Amino acid sequence: MNAHDSEKVIGTLMAQGYAQVATPEDARLVLYNTCSIRDKAEQKVFNRLQNFKREAGKGKIFGVLGCVAQQEGEKIFDRAPHVSLVAGSASYTRLGEMLVQLEAGNRRVTGLSLDTDETFDTPFTRRDNPHRAYITIIEGCDKHCAYCVVPFTRGPERSRTSQSVMAEAGRLAAAGYTEIQLLGQNVNSYRDPSAAGWDFAELLARVAEVPGIRRVRYTTSHPRDFGKSIVEAMDGNHAICDHVHLPVQSGSTRMLAAMDRLYTRDDYMRRIEWIKAARRRYAITTDIIVGFPGETEEDFAETLNLLDEVQYASLFSFKYSPRPNTAALDRGDRIPDEEKQRRLIILQEKQRAIQIRQNAALIGDIQEVLVEGRHQALGQWIGRTSDNRTLNFTHQDSGNTGDLNGRYLSVRVTRSGPNSLVGESVTVV
C-alpha cells in the first residue's frame, strides 16, 4: 500500500509539472514515504534523513510523508530541522497546494488532519511495474486492533465509488496491464458510496470481468468481515487468483480477544473451511504476531498447531512491537525480546518445514505463470503462479528466447525449495 501511495504521489507531482530524477542526489525536493507499523521501520526514517542530509542533502528541500509523518507530526521538525514538509496520507489530496507554499518560501508546511471523507483518487499514477497495477479501493481502517497504529495514521475508512474503481481498471487494461491488485487495510469492509452500492465480493467479480485483465488479487482481508460471498466470487471467475491472504495474528482465542480482533479461532477456522471446500484449490497465507503482552507458552502452542491445521502456503511473522496511541501500549505482561525472538524462530522453522513439504508435492504440476523478470546468472526466467508462488523456469524457444517479461506461459514444476519452485516451460499460452 505504501509503495502504491508513492506511485500516486509521484504521478500527482508529475501532472503538476515536477519531474522525477534518477537519484536523490539529483533532486531539489526529496520526499520520504514512511511506515510506522513497527518501531524498526520508524527508526529507519530518522537514520536515513540524518545520513542523507550529512552526505548529499545540502541545499535540498526535505519532506516526510506517510504514517511516521502522521504519527510524529510537528515533532519531526525538532528531530530533523532540515525537514520542511510533514504530511500524512489523509492529506495527499492537498499535496500540490502544500508544495506551492514551499516554493513560495514557506519553511514549515504540514498536512496532518485525519478529519476527511475524501479518498486520494489520482488522474495520473506513475506505475513501477508494467504488467501489474495496484488500485486502492478503500483507505483507512475502522477496526481497533490493540497493537495497531494504522487507524491513528491513516484515519477512518473511506471507500472509493465503484465507478471510479471500474474506470481505473478499464484504463489499466487499455494501457496493457493484465494483473490488478485491489488494495485496502480491510478490503472486505468495502462499501460503494455511490447508488450502485456494491460490496467487496461484487466489486471483485466485476473487476475480474474487465476485458484484458487476466489476474486479479486483493489484500488485505480481515477475517471478521471475510464473507462466503468472496469465496463464491473467486470460484466464479478464474481471473481471480488462487490465493487468499487471511491474517490470523494468533491461534489462541484468548490472545485474539486481548488483541481485539473480533473473532475466535473457531470463527477463523470456519472461513478456512469455506476456502478449502471451494471448487478451486486456493493457497492460504497469513500474518502472525508473536509475543503480544500476556502470550503464554500455551497460547503460543496454539498458534503452532494452527499452522498444522491450516497448512499455510507462506506467512509473514512479526515480533510484537509496542506502538504509540494503541490500547496494548500500557499493558503489563510484556514478553522479553529474547523470548519473542525464540518464539519467532520456532514459528518460522515450523512454517519452513510445511513449505518444503507443500512445494515438493507440486513437482510434476503444470502451472501458468506471469513472467516478471530474469535471473541472468542462472539462465532462468522469474514467473509468478496464480497462487502467488515464485516459479523460476528455463525456456527453450529454438534458440531465440526474446523478452518474455509480461507474458503468460505454462511451466512444469521440476524442483522445489522452501520459498520457490523451479521448472521448464511447456507451451506458450
Question: What is the contact surface with ligand SF4 in residues (CB under 6 A)?
Answer: 141, 143-145, 148, 150-151, 185-186, 222
Nearer to ligand SAM, 70 or 185 (CB): 185
In the complex, what is the shortest distance from the CB of residue 305 to ligand SF4, in angstroms, rounded to a whole number?
23
Spatial distance between the Cα atoms of 210 and 180, rounded to a whole number of angstroms: 10
* Structural contact between residues 300 and 124, judged by C-beta atoms closer than 8 angstroms: no
Residue 215 CB contacts under 8 Å (≥ 6 apart), including other chains: 132, 178, 179, 180, 239, 241, 370, 386
Binds ligand SAM (CB under 6 A): choice among 83, 133, 148, 231: 148
Site string for ligand SAM, 242-261 (x = CB under 6 A): -----x-x------------
Contact pattern for ligand SAM over residues 1 through 30, marking x by CB under 6 A: ------------------------------
* Helix ranges (DSSP H) in 237-296: 253-258, 265-276
- Rounded Cα distance between 85 and 105, Å, is 12
Nearer to ligand SF4, 188 or 380 (CB): 188
Nearest residue to 259 (alpha-carbon basis) of 270, 247, 243, 269: 247
How many CB atoms are closer than 10 A to CB 304? 15
Whether 159 and 114 have beta carbons less than 8 Å apart is answered as: no
Q: Identify what 320 binds: ligand SAM, ligand SF4, none; CB under 5 to 8 Å per kind.
A: ligand SAM
CB of 115 to ligand SAM, least distance (A): 21
Closest to ligand SF4 by CB, 222 or 395? 222
**Quick one: CA torsion of 14, 18, 21, 24, rounded to 10 degrees?**
-110
Name which of 180 and 328 has its Cβ closer to ligand SAM.
Answer: 328
Residue of 4, 38, 276, 374 interacting with ligand SAM (CB under 6 A): 38
287 binding ligand SAM? (CB under 6 A): yes
C-alpha cell at 114: 485525519
Q: Which is nearer to ligand SAM, 288 or 404 (CB)?
A: 288
Residue 107 or 144: which CB sits closer to ligand SF4?
A: 144
| Count of CA atoms in the C-beta half-sphere (13 A) of 88 | 24
